[in-house]
Structure formats: structure tokens, C-alpha cells
Amino acid sequence: MKRKTDLILLHAPSVYDFRKKNIMFGPTSDLVPSTPIFEMYPIGFLTISNYLSKKGLNVRIVNLAYRMFHEPDFNVETFIKKLDAVAFGIDLHWLPHCQGATEVAKIVKKYHPEIPVIFGGFSSSYFYKELIEFEGVDFIIRGDSAEEPLYRLIMVLKDRDNKKEDNLFYENLPKISNLVWKKDGRVIANPIECVSKNLDEVDFDYRIMFKDVFRYRDVRSVVPFFDWFSYPITAIPVIRGCSKNCANCGGSKFALSFFSNRHRPAFRDPAKLVEEIKIIRNYINSPVFLHGDLNSNGKDYVMEFFKYASALDKDMQIFFEFFEPPEKWFFDEASRVFSKVCYEISPDSHDELIRNKMGKSYTDEELLESIEYGLNKGALRFDLYFMG
């Protein structure tokens, strides 16, 4: 007998009915490798799938946004109607998804009124009071460390389904950290107590995507974004949280302390980071983007990464992200270990005064000197974002 799916993760387009409306989206997605439909699902889908799968649960990723964009005749309602799971998870991480995510929740409830719908992501965490009032939203997992709370919630839901016992179910919900839930019209927000101190327990293992393809015989639902097959870039976050307080950033130190109860960053172990790059390279001949600034954890951390990275293919293409211009030794090490290196930084403005107000104190001279040195050391490119 085929085992029931425990959790189906649905990624909605930014605007659900984009195929029917003429919409001027603007350059909202210029920083990510996706269209204004925001068909790229968050990296959290990958960590959730891996974490829950290791604990014996059956998780499926369905990128509705990609399916809708790539297949003009794809019928979302017909597809969702055929699904069955213990729970549905919908990401509302990037705010442009607010309309699409809530519309998909309505469709899920239309065909599966008894199956719980769980929201998560940064925007879900920030606007949880408003979001939980939506009829199609049953639960919200707040914070940036959703894996363990989500696992506990799914187990409680499975236990209720098996025992048909609501009293015990409602006794268990207050025990789940980070959870927002409803009972008899009352909203209860449990404290955010699950905040990862390191990233050792989560895996950025892309092999889970291939397993999904074979298990569900569905390639298109796991594709990360449009044109991924032509340019299959992969990403691994090296950090959760931030030590910076850039004024315009929803992931700043202050912002994360406010809606995620995170007061210090958590970093990926350098050895594990390199091991995951090896796994990616064994299956996908793609560039690897290291999301987050390695330098945020100090020189010793960076040097340890380069020590392990020396065992990688020197000719692989790798992207490094900077929060501020690094010192010259970083470029020296990167060019020693890799021959195809790309860098990116977001200065926010060409005006030093504005940049300083935004929370970045480096000068134009320091920025230009860093770019010049990086390019002279053989960088393929040095991308600059947010230059208003």
C-alpha cells in the first residue's frame, strides 16, 4: 500500500492569476535568478525536506509557480484536488508572495477543508497576527529555524489522525516552540524558543530533489526556477542571522531579533559546507553560490573553509557574497583554491553619506580598491547590487 505523504510544501506565484491579468511587475526580482512571478522557492524547502525525511516523514515539494509559468494549461485546482497529505505547507517568505500564497491556501481549503495548512517564512513571521486571521491558515511557524517545530507539529497531527482525540491534540500544541495556532476563535502564539545555534542539524542536500522525482514521477514540480535546466545554479547558506544592521534589510540583526528571537548568527561548519559542495558536484555540474558572507565569522573561519575547499575541483565556478569589502588576503586565498570565482556585494548607494545612513560605513575608495584587486586576481565577475 502506498504510504500517505506527511507534508506537501506548496510554492505559490507572487500573483496567483498572473496568467489572466496584464500586470506591470517592475524590476522586483532582479536580484534572484527567477522572473517577477518569483517561481524560485526558498532554500528552507530543501532543509525542511531533508530534516523531516531523516526523521522518517514523507515530504513532497511542489513548485506551483514554476508549473503555472512553464505550462500555460496547467490547472492548479485540478492538481491540488488530487493531492492528499497530513498537512500542506505554504511559504510566505518574500512579501511579493502575499497574494499568491493566500490564494493557494484558499484553493487547498476548497478541496481539502479538513487538512491543516501551515505557513512559514520571514513575512509569515513578521505579519503572523494578520496572517493567522485568514480562514485558510491554520498554523504558522515563526522564526528562521522551522525544521524541528514543523516536525513536532506534523507528529502531533498524525497522532490526532490516528487516535481521533482532540483533547490530547490541544494539550500538545502549547508544547511546540515557534507555533501560532487557533482554538475556538482565539489565537495563541507560542514563544519562539527554537533558534538554531549552529547549522549542523540541517542539510542542504539536493539529492532529496532527485528522490522526489522518482517517488512522485514528477520532474517539473521540484524545478527551483525558470531556465534552471539551462543554468542550474545551486545555493548553500553559510549563515542564519546577521551581525549587521542595514536599515533596509529584513534580515538584519535587529529585524531577526524582533520577529525570530535570533540575537546572534549561526554558521555552517566549514567541513560540512565543503562536503555538501562535493555532493552537489557529484550530481549537478553547476555553479555554487555561498549565500552569506564567510567573513562574518572571522578570518580563522574563512581560512578553515579554504583549507577544506582545497580538496574541491579547482575549476568549479563558485560565488562569494560580501557584506563589506573584504581584505586582500581573501582574494588571494580564493584565487589559490578556485580558478572560476565570482563575487557580489550590495553597496546600496554610490553616495557614501547615504550608504553610511543605511548602515554600511565603507568608502567608495575602499569599495573600488577591493573590486579592482578581486578582478586582478582573476575573478570572472564582480556584481554590484542596489546602486540607487
**Beta-bridge partner residues of 240:** 266
pLDDT in tens, 93-110: 888 889 999 999 999 999
pLDDT in tens, 23-64: 655 555 455 556 777 888 888 998 999 999 999 999 999 999
**For position 289, which CATH number holds?**
3.20.20.70
Which one-letter DSSP state was computed for residue 36? T
What is the pLDDT, as a whole number, of residue 45?
A: 92
What is the pLDDT, as a whole number, of residue 201?
A: 87
**Beta-bridge partner residues of 10:** 62, 90
What is the pLDDT, as a whole number, of residue 1?
A: 43
* Final residue belonging to a domain, choices 156, 189, 222: 189
Same domain? 181 vs 237: no
Mean pLDDT confidence for 249-260: 92
Same domain? 243 vs 182: no
Q: Whose CA is closest to 139, among 64, 89, 193, 191?
A: 89
Mean pLDDT confidence for 378-388: 85
Q: Assess if residue 379 is contained within a domain.
A: yes
pLDDT in tens, 346-376: 998 889 999 999 999 999 999 999 999 999 9
Sequence-distant (6+) residues with CB within 8 A of 229 are 223
Q: Assess if residue 146 is contained within a domain.
A: yes
What is the pLDDT, as a whole number, of residue 313?
A: 92
Q: Whose CA is closest to 35, among 19, 57, 51, 55?
A: 19
- Cβ distance 133 to 167 under 8 Å? no
The fraction of the chain above a pLDDT of 90, given in percent, is 67
Cell 520571514 found at: 122
Q: Assess if residue 222 is contained within a domain.
A: no
Same domain? 63 vs 173: yes
- DSSP 3-state assignment of 366? helix
What is the amino acid identity at position 8?
Answer: I
How many whole angstroms separate alpha carbon 151 and alpha carbon 216?
21
Mean pLDDT confidence for 161-169: 79
What is the amino acid identity at position 278?
Answer: K
Sheet holding 85-91, edge to edge: 59-63, 5-11, 85-91, 117-120, 139-141, 179-183, 186-189
Least confident of 44-48, 206-210, 258-262, 281-285: 206-210
What is the pLDDT, as a whole number, of residue 29?
A: 47
For the chain, percent helix, then strand, then coil, each to nearest 5?
A: 40, 15, 45
Same domain? 36 vs 151: yes
Q: Which comes out higher in pLDDT, residue 90 or 200?
A: 90
pLDDT range class, residue 21, cuts 50, 70, 90: low
Mean pLDDT confidence for 78-101: 93
Q: Whose CA is closest to 6, among 204, 124, 156, 167?
A: 156
Q: Assess if residue 314 is contained within a domain.
A: yes
Same domain? 115 vs 22: yes
Please tell me the number of Cα atoms within 13 Å of 217 on its side-chain side: 0
* Final residue belonging to a domain, choices 167, 189, 211: 189
Q: Assess if residue 305 is contained within a domain.
A: yes
| Calculated CA dihedral for residues 179, 273, 231, 95, nearest 10 degrees | 20
Same domain? 160 vs 15: yes
What is the pLDDT, as a whole number, of residue 366?
A: 96
What is the pLDDT, as a whole number, of residue 225?
A: 62
Beta strand pairing call for 139-141 and 117-120: parallel
Q: Assess if residue 358 is contained within a domain.
A: yes
pLDDT in tens, 135-148: 899 999 999 999 99
pLDDT in tens, 298-321: 999 999 999 999 999 999 999 999
Interior angle at CA 367, CA 361 and CA 373, nearest 5: 145
**For position 45, which CATH number holds?**
3.40.50.2300
Q: Whose CA is closest to 43, among 20, 61, 30, 17?
A: 61
Mean pLDDT confidence for 334-350: 95
Same domain? 248 vs 146: no
Cell 513548485 found at: 63
Q: How many domains does the chain have?
A: 2
What is the pLDDT, as a whole number, of residue 205?
A: 81
Same domain? 167 vs 93: yes
Q: Assess if residue 110 is contained within a domain.
A: yes
Q: Is the pLDDT of residue 213 over 80?
A: no
How many whole angstroms separate alpha carbon 150 and alpha carbon 154?
6
Task: Give the sign of the dihedral formed by CA 85, CA 90, CA 91, CA 96.
Answer: positive
Domain residues for 131? Answer: 5-189
Q: Assess if residue 204 is contained within a domain.
A: no
